[in-house]
Structure formats: structure tokens, C-alpha cells
Amino acid sequence: MSVCSLLILVLHVFLTAQAHTSFVFSKFNASTLYQVEYSSIRSGAICLSNQSQRVSGRVLYPQPVRMKDSTSTNTSSSFSTTFVFAMLPYSSDPSLSGQGMAFIITPSKSPVENSSNQYLGLLNNSNIGKPDNHLFPIEFDTVQSGGVEDIKANHVGVDLNDLKSEKCEGAGYWIGNQFHELYLNSGQNIQAWIDYDHTQQQLNVTIVEAGSPRPQKPLISLKNMTLSNIFEEQMYVGFSASTGAVVEDHCLLAWSFSTNGSAPELDVSHLPSLLKRKKSNSRLIAAITTTLVLLVLLLVAAAVFRWKRNKYRDVKEEWEMEYWPHRFDYKELHIATKGFRDDKILGFGGFGQVYKGVLPSNGHEVAVISIFRKTTESLKDFIAEISVNYG
């Protein structure tokens, strides 16, 4: 081998090494990724849409990645990525969601204007389908949007400079010949793999519940696919999401990526869960609601008890202490006369009806008069008469 050939070989190896990018994030902090618009960090996860209506958010690996060979061959690089994401709507109606998220390879850090709602923070109505977009998204969409030929609400699609997918499948995974649907906005952690081999011109997309083995059969497999017209030499890799009238969380929990090689494996066993967060909030709300209901019931019970107690309570007036004999409690007389039943009536006196009764305390028979007039003077007269006659 000549010296010139050796130098060319060494230069090629050096350039190849410089072109290779590989990273892995098992959790995120504020300085991990480049965040755009409404993205935020929550408990080690990075969420793209900030629980706001009609917004778009984006997170990207901070440095551009070489996605095209700069030599005369001008071919796109192979790449491999795997990540764990979770989406959870905040609507009380489970049929409503908004809107979805996408893995993206893009030449621009910033999203275009008016790219919320069905545009997933990627494009707007004025630049859909333009070849100079140089945009490669894999969409994880939860809404069937009009005008982009979505096959259903819950789907995964491969797009090229557009939101009309080159290939689109309902979200799920294969085990043998059996297909299992996977609801993207269920709140559960979902792991995705995206692999592109430029030599075979083949793209594979696979998803499954995080923690489950990777299915052997991809959800989407595209052959004879070249990305050399899509990719520029330097591109940014990351994620984009948007909301519409319905607010939805779009969170990234872990991510690894590699060009010209397999993406590093992810340990998903320690990842947080949106479902636990919502369950915790639900438990707190349920606990507060239960406490308030119990408090109201206790107050009602106390009010009823007080009312019943006052119903049978005799209040002695001060003037009564001057006379003898004193009154019995109303409750005791009520029992003695069997509730002032008609069959206990002995007759009528000058002050009211007279009832026959038996005192429950000692068994003595008594006559109980129920006074018609309820004025203080009539009561005084009645007590005075008893005091004179029987005192």
C-alpha cells in the first residue's frame, strides 16, 4: 500500500469517527437537552406541551448530528434510536385527546409558527409537503386529523416533509401472528425503536409496553427507502408535540441514539410513571372529597341530635321556682301517656285536655293536663291553682 493510499485510509477512518454520534439519557435535567417553547422538566422526565391548550413544544439533542456523508457518495447515514415516552390526556372524556408527539430529524431548532393542533409542532398549513422542509418525523398520533389521510386516531406514521404518512399503522405490536393494540395516550410507559439501514434502504419502527421484550416483528417496515434527499449534512434529532382544545401530557422518560450502529440499551425499570402521578392526584382528591362529605354528615347528624334533644327538653321558667309541685320532664310525661294517645283522654278541664298516665320512674298513676292556651299568664294561673288546692 502506498503512502498516499495509507493517508487516505487514515483520513477516512478519522472522518468516520468524527461523524459518529452516540448518546444515552436515562433521565433528564434542565441542561440535558435543548428545550423550545413549552417543554419542561418534571421528576426526571421531560414534557413537551406544559399542559396548555393549542401549543407546541420541542426538545432536541443540543449538537447537530452528521446525517449525510460529505464525500462524493452523498449518502445518508444509518441511525438507530430507542426511547420511552408516555402520553396522558387531562380530559374527563377518554375519547378526547390532543394531539400527539413525534420523533424528528430536522435542520431547524425552532418550530414554525402556527404548528399546534394537528401539526404536532412540525409544519403549518403553508409549508406541508414542500421538499425544502428536509423534515423526517415518525409520528405517534392520538387524533385522526382531516386532510392528512390518517387511518385512525391511535396510529404511528412515517412522514417525509409532510404530515401525510408514507406508511401508517394502528398503534400496537406483534407477538407471533397475533396483533395487540397499544393505546398511545393511555398514560403507560411505551418503548419505541426506530432503525434505518442506509445500505439496505430499510426503516423499521417497533413499539411495546416499556419493560416488555422487544417484538421480533416491527409494527412498520419500509423497504427501498432512501433519505438522501431528506437529510442535510448536519441535522438535529429530538422530539416535537402539540396540543389542541384538549390538553395532553407528552413526556419523554429515557432516550438513546446512535448513527452507524445500534442505539445503547435502556434500563426502564426505574422510570417514573404518569399513571402513578395521576393516581396520586386522584387519591388526594378522593381523600379530600371523602373528608368533606364525612364532615358534612357529622354536622347534619349533630344538628339532628340537637333538634331531637331540644324537642323533648323542658325549660323551667324562673317564676316556676316560687310554686309547688314542680313540673315533670315532657319526655317522661310523653312516655306516661303513650304519646298523648286519644284512648288515654280522661276528659276536659278548664285549661285543656286531661290524660291518664303511668309514670315510668315509679309506676304511679297520674293525670296529665295538656294546656290549650300557651301564654305565660295561663300557665301561671294553672300552677297557682294547683299550688292552692294541693300545696
- Whether the upstream peptide bond of residue 107 has omega within 30° of 0, thus cis, is no
Judge contact between 257 and 22, C-beta under 8 A: yes
Q: What is the pLDDT averaged over residues 328-334? A: 81
Query: What is the chain's Cα-based Rg?
Result: 41
H helix count then E strand count, the chain: 4, 21
Q: Does the pLDDT at position 139 exceed 90?
A: yes
CATH of domain 20-271: 2.60.120.200
In the prediction, which pLDDT does 9 show? 36
Torsions phi, psi for 109 (to 5 deg): -75, -40
Residues in contact with 50: Cβ distance below 8 Å, sequence separation at least 6, in sequence order = 38, 39, 40, 57
385 bridge partner residues: none
What's the rounded Cα separation, in Å, for the pair 244 and 98?
5
316-390 CATH fold: Phosphorylase Kinase; domain 1 (3.30.200)
Q: Does the pLDDT at position 175 exceed 90?
A: yes
The letter for the amino acid at 71 is: T
Residues in contact with 92: Cβ distance below 8 Å, sequence separation at least 6, in sequence order = none
Residue 280 DSSP class: H
Torsions phi, psi for 140 (to 5 deg): -120, 90
Model confidence pLDDT, tens digit, residues 19-61? 689 999 998 887 788 887 678 888 788 988 877 788 888 899 9
Helix (H, G, I), strand (E, B) or coil at 164: coil
Share above pLDDT 70 across residues of the chain, in percent, rounded to a whole number: 78
Confidence of residue 368 (pLDDT cuts 50, 70, 90): confident
- Whether the upstream peptide bond of residue 99 has omega within 30° of 0, thus cis, is yes
Q: Does the pLDDT at position 277 exceed 60?
A: no
Q: Does the pLDDT at position 312 exceed 50?
A: yes
Residues in contact with 8: Cβ distance below 8 Å, sequence separation at least 6, in sequence order = none
**152-161, 186-195, 240-249, 313-322 — which is least confidently predicted?**
313-322
Instruction: Give the number of other CB atoms < 10 A from CB of residue 306.
Output: 10
In the prediction, which pLDDT does 22 show? 95
Helix (H, G, I), strand (E, B) or coil at 228: coil
Q: Does the pLDDT at position 232 exceed 60?
A: yes
Would you list the DSSP string of 173-193?
Answer: EEETTEEEE--TTSSS-EEEE
Question: What are the boundaries of each domain within the chain?
Answer: 20-271, 273-311, 316-390
Residue 122 DSSP class: T
Residues in contact with 378: Cβ distance below 8 Å, sequence separation at least 6, in sequence order = 351, 371
Helix (H, G, I), strand (E, B) or coil at 332: helix
Residues in contact with 334: Cβ distance below 8 Å, sequence separation at least 6, in sequence order = 312, 340
Closest-CA residue to 27 (of 250, 260, 266, 336)? 266
Between the alpha carbon of residue 75 and those of residues 100, 132, 229, the distances in Å are 31, 18, 9
In the prediction, which pLDDT does 50 show? 74
Model confidence pLDDT, tens digit, residues 278-310? 544 545 455 567 777 778 888 888 888 777 766
Compute the C-alpha angle 365/366/371, nearest 5°. 155
Q: Which residue has the higher pLDDT, 1 or 139?
A: 139
Judge contact between 142 and 190, C-beta under 8 A: no
Residue with cell 354528615: 297
